Amino acid sequence: MLYSREYITESTLLGIWKIEETREELLSMLCHHEWIQNIYSIKSESRVLEILAARVLFKELLGEEKEIYYNSSGKPFFTDESYHISVSHTRGYVGVALNKHKFLGLDLEQVSEKIFRVRNRLISSHEYIDQNNELIHLLLHWSAKEAMIKFLDVEGIDIRKHLFIDKFIPRQKGCFPAAESRTETHYQFDVYYRVEKDFVVVCLEANDF
């Protein structure tokens, strides 16, 4: 079912779907089954549900179905190039973001203490983590860096060396700045986030130059 739908900026639409349907129920919401023949070779049922839910969600947001292809790194795009898109999923939820003019990056992360295991591989010595809200702050850092990786779509990214999150205090919802040094462009980002009971969601755009 549609969990949320909102414009996080003037031009970026974010939607989240809570997966409560079966494969058959999701398929019944789609007309162009010829666009999703790949699901029949996928062994993981949860992965099939995520793929179908994402397509249903795009249809819900746009009022029409879109054919989706993937580039060599697995990044999705509409074949008609009508929107830039990003897709993410976490346990039981799928998120999509769309923008007609700007590239973007989206990530959903389940709220879990497993994040503590990778803290040293995630946070550089120059980055700040609020000790009063350490779990959520770490999740937002991780999610933002995952979203930057999707945006950049290049090889050889060192999470601690090339991706940087400016100091911020996590709230229920907000925006914080981030930057990357992996590409010659040295993108700077506005990172929009929301904290839910089961997950955090982060969506970012590059600042205009």
Could you tell me the two tokens for 50?
């995520």
The overall longest dimension of the chain from CA atoms, in Å, is 51
Could you tell me the two tokens for 203?
């969506």
Residue whose tokens read 């850092």? 141
Q: Which helix (H) or strand (E) holds 108?
A: strand 104-110
pLDDT the model gives residue 35? 94
Could you tell me the two tokens for 26?
């999701």
Query: Is a pLDDT exceeding 80 seen at residue 133?
Result: yes
Mean pLDDT of 20-44: 93
Q: How confident is the model at residue 38 (pLDDT cuts 50, 70, 90)?
A: confident
Q: Cα separation of 153 and 105, whole Å?
A: 10
pLDDT the model gives residue 31? 95
Percent of the chain clearing pLDDT 90 (strictly above) = 94
Could you tell me the two tokens for 133?
């809200």
Q: Cα separation of 179 and 66, whole Å?
A: 31
Task: Report how far apart, in Å, the C-alpha atoms of 158 and of each of 117, 122, 161, 180 are.
Answer: 18, 9, 5, 10
Q: Which helix (H) or strand (E) holds 94?
A: strand 93-99
Q: Cα separation of 76 and 81, whole Å?
A: 11
| 73-128 confidence digits (pLDDT tens) | 889 999 999 999 999 999 999 999 999 999 999 999 999 999 999 999 999 999 99
**Contact criterion met (CB below 8 Å) for 137 and 152:** no
- The whole model's pTM is what? 0.95
Q: In the predicted model, what is the mean pLDDT of the chain?
A: 96
Rg of the chain (C-alpha set)? 17
Taking alpha carbons only, the member of 41, 39, 74, 73 closest to residue 56 is 39
